[in-house]
Amino acid sequence: MSQRKRVAIVGIGLIGGSLAIQLHEKKLSSKLIGVDDNEEHARQAVELELVDETMPLNDAIEQSDVIVLAIPVDKLVSLLPSIMDKIDQQIVVDLGSTKSQLVDVIKSHPKRRRYVATHPMWGTEYSGPQSAVRGAYENKAVIICNAEDSDADALDWVKNMYKKIGMHLLEMEAKAHDLHAAYVSHISHITSFALANTVLEKEKEENAIFELASAGFESTVRLAKSNPAMWVPIFMQNKENVLDVLKEHIAQLSRFKESIEKEDNEYLMKLIENANKIRRIIK
């Protein structure tokens, strides 16, 4: 059975572009169509041979079997219903980092079952088609949300696609996904952005401060380069969960502050020993 389909990728940047490379390499696509509002990105996507050609969204919907949405989550929420209005039997799949609002907005749509809600847990701090990389997604997790609301054939093709590009599949309700994503992805970005701002603030008085930036600093601040157009809507859509984890994180930081203020070595030791338990998770 050939799994090859004509695939339209809406949003041909880091996420969509990297997927395009894998779809071609794993022989999942017979044709790759790019759709992008950003004309420069569209041009680059063809030039970099990420897609065969680019065209307006409506033409792409007509000429494809699968429509992959790799755009910021605010645009997803506004665009998904209108795409669903236009499809016949095409499969629609999104790669967004938040899922609750999206499955809510499409819940009662007559074509709901042609849609598969997913979140492949891969990304870098870069954006645009030129940052697309080969071998992305390999050995990473992908979450399929509310799988019971999708048609079996759509779900099968999407699951097979993710398996072929080397991902391991997890299924989860959209609400659970958003909670977990706040803890293991969204908060990391906020701490990184805030850390960058902390140090950049100090740099105004201390020019030399970055001369001695170490690998540890680079590792914690790397995500601060991430694209605001992608992250602002994620934080806003996942507001409640993100605020919960952010409050907890500030409370945890305050414990470090207190223990240092009071020179309570024993308490500080306990806080760090507890943090060391992360070894169980991150090898």
**Between residue 202 and residue 261, which ones bind a second copy under the rule CB under 8 A?**
202, 206, 208-226, 228, 231-232, 235-236, 239, 242-243, 245-250, 252-257, 260-261
Cβ nearer to a second copy, comparing 87 with 199: 199
Helix (H) or strand (E) holding 260: helix 239-261
Stretch that binds a second copy, among 4-12, 25-33, 63-71, 264-272 (CB under 8 A): 264-272
**Closest approach of a second copy to the CB of residue 89, in Å:** 31
What DSSP state is assigned to residue 55?
-
User: Least Å distance between CB 176 and a second copy?
Assistant: 8
Collapse the DSSP code of 54 into the 3-class scheme (helix H, G, I; strand E, B; otherwise coil) and give the result.
strand
Residues 155-194 touching a second copy, rule: CB under 8 A, are 170, 172, 176, 179-181, 183-185, 187-194
Phi/psi of residue 118, nearest 5 degrees: -140, 160
Strands of the 53-54 sheet, one edge to the other: 53-54, 29-35, 5-10, 66-69, 91-94, 115-120, 141-145, 168-172
Task: Provide, rounded to whole angstroms, the least separation between the CB of residue 90 and a second copy.
Answer: 28
Site for a second copy in 113-132 (CB under 8 A): 121-123
Are the beta carbons of 114 and 87 closer than 8 angstroms?
Answer: yes
Q: How far is the CB of 205 from a second copy (least distance, A)?
A: 10
Nearer to a second copy, 49 or 250 (CB): 250
Q: Which of 42, 41, 169, 176 lies closest to 116 in space, CA to CA?
A: 169
Query: Which of 88, 110, 201, 204 is the binder for a second copy (CB under 8 A)?
Result: 201
Please tell me whether residue 85 binds a second copy under the rule CB under 8 A.
no
In the numeric block, the tokens 């009662």 are attached to: 108
User: Is residue 281 close enough to count as binding a second copy by CB under 8 A?
Assistant: yes
158 forms beta bridges with none
CA separation for the pair 31, 153 (Å, rounded): 20
Place of tokens 């020179």: 263
Given the complex with a second copy, which of 46 and 176 has the nearer CB atom? 176
**Residues 21, 143, 147, 174: which binds a second copy (CB under 8 A)?**
143
Least spacing, CB of residue 13 vs a second copy, in Å: 16
Q: Which of residues 27-66 bind a second copy (CB under 8 A)?
A: none
Q: How many CB atoms lie within 10 A of CB 93?
A: 24
